[in-house]
Amino acid sequence: MPKILIIGACGQIGTELTKQLRAEYGTDNVIASDVRKTDPEFVASGPFEVVNALDFNQIEHTIEKYGVDEVYLMAALLSATAEKNPAFAWDLNMNSLFHVLNLAKAGKIKKIFWPSSIAVFGPTTPKQNTPQYTVMEPSTVYGISKQSGERWCEYYHNIYGVDVRSIRYPGLISWSTPPGGGTTDYAVDIYHKALENGEYTCFLSEETRLPMMYMDDAIRATIEIMKAPAENIKIRSSYNLAAMDFTPKEITEAIQQELPEFTISYEPDFRQKIADSWPQSIDDTCARTDWGWKHEFDLATMTTDMLVHLRELKHND
């Protein structure tokens, strides 16, 4: 049974990843960490350490304290937030990765998961069915840091034999954690607003098509790629990952199937330019072939599940 450390466990993905990994490997085998204790209930749910992802010594100490085998590095500044503070975003997104790669190089840990993103692509990338290998000229600091990270992951694997694994997340949609500052977060907020007041003002235009994935699928993909035999992981930069793609207009229509009175208006802001630079759909054949990836949720089934869970949350509040 591996000992697992999650760095950035209080974030949008980290929270749910921690819960699922604890369900599979046992609570005591999964150590959550973040730069601060933001959620008392989550912090109390199992082993938790305050760890600054930029502090090499803190990370090393935590790994040694618990005898950690695997690290999931989920700490990052996301696309829209990163544009407001480019220097810090670069520092956090890159140096936290170097710390973990160097600890693996030194033999302190056996396996790393590091998430990349569709933000590695840019305006010159083919928009439809974006292939695994293609032009990558990102136009955001988040995308630049993720593309650079992919190259370093591949380098550390090829030169030092580090077992690092990665997937390029599309936009992720979850009912259990609030939006985290990403350009695709409208597709989370829209469900909350649909139930709260029956209307939503979208910061992207109605025909902005983006690749998306329900969080349940994303968490499952993350754990599956880490469980896969090393010989099946043929790409050590990052795998394309896909499930569905839709526009704000299409997600509105899906919600209206269950909430007919729901309305939407559009006021595109600076995030529109970011979204316009990204793919509209993703070809993830390599992930499906190499380690057997299959998504389970489409727009309709995700919408039903989101609304069921959000209604339960509001009922319990």
Tokens 């993909």 — which residue? 221
CA dist 305 and 42 (Å) reads 23
23 pairs with which residues across the strands?
A: none
Residues 6 or more apart in contact with residue 214 via CB below 8 angstroms? 172, 173, 174, 243, 296, 297, 302, 305
CA dist 200 and 205 (Å) reads 13
> Is-contact 211 279, C-beta < 8 A?
yes
Reported as half-sphere exposure (CB side, CA atoms, 13 A), residue 115 has a value of: 29
Active-site choice (25, 66, 133, 142): 142
Tokens of 316: 């319990």
CA dist 262 and 256 (Å) reads 6
3-state secondary structure of 75: coil
3-state secondary structure of 240: strand
Instruction: Give the chain's radius of gyration (CA, Å).
Output: 19
Count of C-beta atoms within a 10 Å radius of residue 309: 14
Is residue 142 annotated as a catalytic residue, yes or no? Answer: yes
Active-site positions read 142
